[in-house]
Structure 1
Amino acid sequence: MAKRAFYVRAKWDPTSRVYYTDSDIVGLHVEASTIEELEAIVMEVAPELIVSNHLSADDLVNKPMRELVPAILFEKPLAKAS
């Protein structure tokens, strides 16, 4: 069975003053100036990256949709950016 849950952790880089992602979704590398912008970009591109990089053609043809739809667990930083 294909992996059903993926994590995305938002982290703050105080030197660059941007939020960035740490994730197990292959190809997901996002930076943004606000946490809201980061989350919006992640939720827009993550499903496409999962289909492209984590599911096989066989999965897409032969598995029921309920087995293909993943959970994307977005975790905001514990501390606010300063």
Structure 2
Amino acid sequence: MRFYIKALWDEESGVFYSESDIMGLHIEAETVEEFQAIMKDLAPVMIMENHVSKKDFSKKSILDMIPSIFFTPPSLGNAAA
């Protein structure tokens, strides 16, 4: 299981927000550090709630169910974090 999370800067709102293929995950934060802290707390929960079924537990090995999350921080030119 592979997922991505990208932090993008919203100039108008003054926050970093997430783009992701993890269903239900939406992050907004004023700093990249805050974004990453929220991401570390919420991403695994959203994956377990929205991407893993009870059927998966009976049919897949535990190693196949450990997700890989690829984080792309904002480019330095997009915001002064």
**What TM-score does the superposition give when structure 1 sets the normalisation length?**
0.90
Kindly state the Cα deviation for residue 62 of structure 1 after the two structures are TM-superposed: 3.1
- Unmatched 5+ residue regions in structure 2? none
* AA aligned opposite 1:56: S
- 1:13: which partner in 2? 10
After TM superposition, the runs of 4+ consecutive aligned structure 1 residues lying more than 6 A away are: none
- Unmatched 5+ residue regions in structure 1? none
How many residue pairs get matched?
Answer: 79
* Separation of aligned partners in 1, 2:4 and 2:59: 25
* AA aligned opposite 1:49: M
2:70 corresponds, among 69, 73, 79, to: 73
5 Å-filtered alignment, 1:3-42, equals 4-42=1-39
Are residues 1:61 and 2:58 paired?
Answer: yes
Kindly state the Cα deviation for residue 78 of structure 1 after the two structures are TM-superposed: 1.1
* Separation of aligned partners in 1, 2:5 and 2:26: 10
RMSD: 1.1
Q: Percent identity?
A: 43
